[in-house]
Structure 1
């Protein structure tokens, strides 16, 4: 399997690379980013050979040499975005360009590059992104509606491709993502999961679930925290049995 990871220098993307390089099913990992990406610490020399860093100056524009790298790809996990908190420090036009325009430009470039069929595109969004454009979220309304509109556009583009089913899409919508590298966040996230305040999924579970879905097919077009946690736990168990 040839997997594209877009936004490959981020925290979640680094864990995607880590698990992908260890996966027997994945033979090539294209790390798409605006700067060189190396294999995560602890990766074996043999696994590191599966990684290829592809530098892109602008996620809205895809030169021919980048499109050639996309040829034959089986799937993409798209993580490029500006988070809700950071969105307040940018002009909304820039936030929309990065979160929406770039996503659709990248998806189109991959679909046009001669990928494998089916080609699976998993867009990483957030649990509060609102697809129903008639609703008005209480906070960050403009941002959450834009992210929901992007989800709609991703799904609509996939559905428009011929023949039907040749390009498939889904959206990962985690809530709070925790990791062992941040003790406070992990403990706080576990407490929130226990009392049911905010959906919680560990970064390991999230990534294992996303990789399972691009390998085996999407359960549905919106994978929320509970879905991702359930799929991820099972996928990690299966991986542990194989090792």
Structure 2
């Protein structure tokens, strides 16, 4: 399997790359980012860093032909590139929307075009959103309403694009709660606070990465994939990998 991971320098993307390089079913890993992406540290003894390639995309609204050439033949994509809610509070709204929504749709379009329509199996495109994203645009979310509606509308656009190409694209959305770094006291305290204040669930970066990889390799169980789904799938995948 040839896998594309966007936002290659990010927290989740780094773990996705690490696990991908340790998975023999994944034969090629392309990390898309604005700057070169290094191979993650602490790789397992069975990891194959030779199947990793960093692809620099200077403008995620435009994909030159040399970049599209490298995207050819992709079997799946996990799209993690976004502005987090915390960072969004201090950034111009137009920039937040451009990164979270425009870049996602431009990337999906570019990967679709690079792949062509003659492939026998559909591209599996997994969009990583968030638990608070609201698809129903008539609602007013309690938490960062404008941001939550925009992320929900992006989910709608991804699914609509896939729906217009049912033979070529299979899409789903991952909607985790707070993503934790295992062993981080700060993350644990924040997760506990969010749970007690707003019932926001959490999941470790290792679990969600294992879950998303399992889903793009074996097919989507459902849409959307909520935090509980991701935790269950991730824990099972991790257990199977240990056996």
Name the TM tier (shorter chain).
over 0.9
Could you tell me how far 1:193 is from its partner in structure 2? 6.4
Higher mean C-alpha displacement, 134-143 vs 144-153: 134-143
Query: Matched residue of 2:115: which SS?
Result: coil
Query: Matched residue of 1:151: which SS?
Result: helix
Asked if 1:79 corresponds to 2:83, the answer is no
Q: How does 1:118-129 map to 2 (within 5 A)?
A: 118-129=122-133
In structure 2, the CA distance between the partners of 1:139 and 1:45, relative to structure 1 (3 Å rule), is closer
Query: Matched residue of 1:128: which SS?
Result: coil
Tell me if the contact between 2:23 and 2:47 (Cα under 8 Å) persists in the aligned partners.
no
| Superposition CA RMSD, Å | 1.9
Matched residue, 2:59 = 58
Query: Matched residue of 1:49: which SS?
Result: helix
**Aligned match of 1:198 in 197, 200, 206?**
200
Tell me if the contact between 2:125 and 2:170 (Cα under 8 Å) persists in the aligned partners.
yes
Query: Matched residue of 1:113: which SS?
Result: helix
Query: What TM-score does the superposition give when structure 1 sets the normalisation length?
Result: 0.93
In structure 2, the CA distance between the partners of 1:10 and 1:181, relative to structure 1 (3 Å rule), is farther
Matched residue, 1:33 = 33
Deviations 1:195-223 (A, max 9, x none): 99221111111000000000011111211
Moved over 4 A (4+): 190-196
Tell me, in whole angstroms, the C-alpha distance in 2 between the residues paired with 1:235 and 1:221. 19
Tell me if the contact between 2:18 and 2:40 (Cα under 8 Å) persists in the aligned partners.
yes
In structure 2, the CA distance between the partners of 1:217 and 1:7, relative to structure 1 (3 Å rule), is same
Could you tell me how far 1:137 is from its partner in structure 2? 1.1
Could you tell me how far 1:190 is from its partner in structure 2? 6.3
Could you tell me how far 1:179 is from its partner in structure 2? 1.5
Matched residue, 2:150 = 146
Higher mean C-alpha displacement, 215-224 vs 230-239: 215-224
Gaps in structure 1 of 5+ consecutive residues:
none
Tell me, in whole angstroms, the C-alpha distance in 1 between the residues paired with 2:22 and 2:189. 27
Could you tell me how far 1:148 is from its partner in structure 2? 0.2
Could you tell me how far 1:192 is from its partner in structure 2? 6.4
Query: Matched residue of 2:48: which SS?
Result: helix
**Aligned match of 2:138 in 134, 152, 159?**
134
Tell me, in whole angstroms, the C-alpha distance in 2 between the residues paired with 1:21 and 1:234. 19
Matched residue, 1:160 = 164
Matched residue, 1:229 = 231
Query: Matched residue of 2:132: which SS?
Result: coil
Tell me, in whole angstroms, the C-alpha distance in 2 between the residues paired with 1:67 and 1:205. 31
Matched residue, 1:172 = 174
Higher mean C-alpha displacement, 175-184 vs 26-35: 175-184
Asked if 1:210 corresponds to 2:181, the answer is no
Matched residue, 2:103 = 102
Matched residue, 1:9 = 9
Matched residue, 2:49 = 48
Matched residue, 2:18 = 18
Deviations 1:80-109 (A, max 9, x none): 110111111111111111100110000000
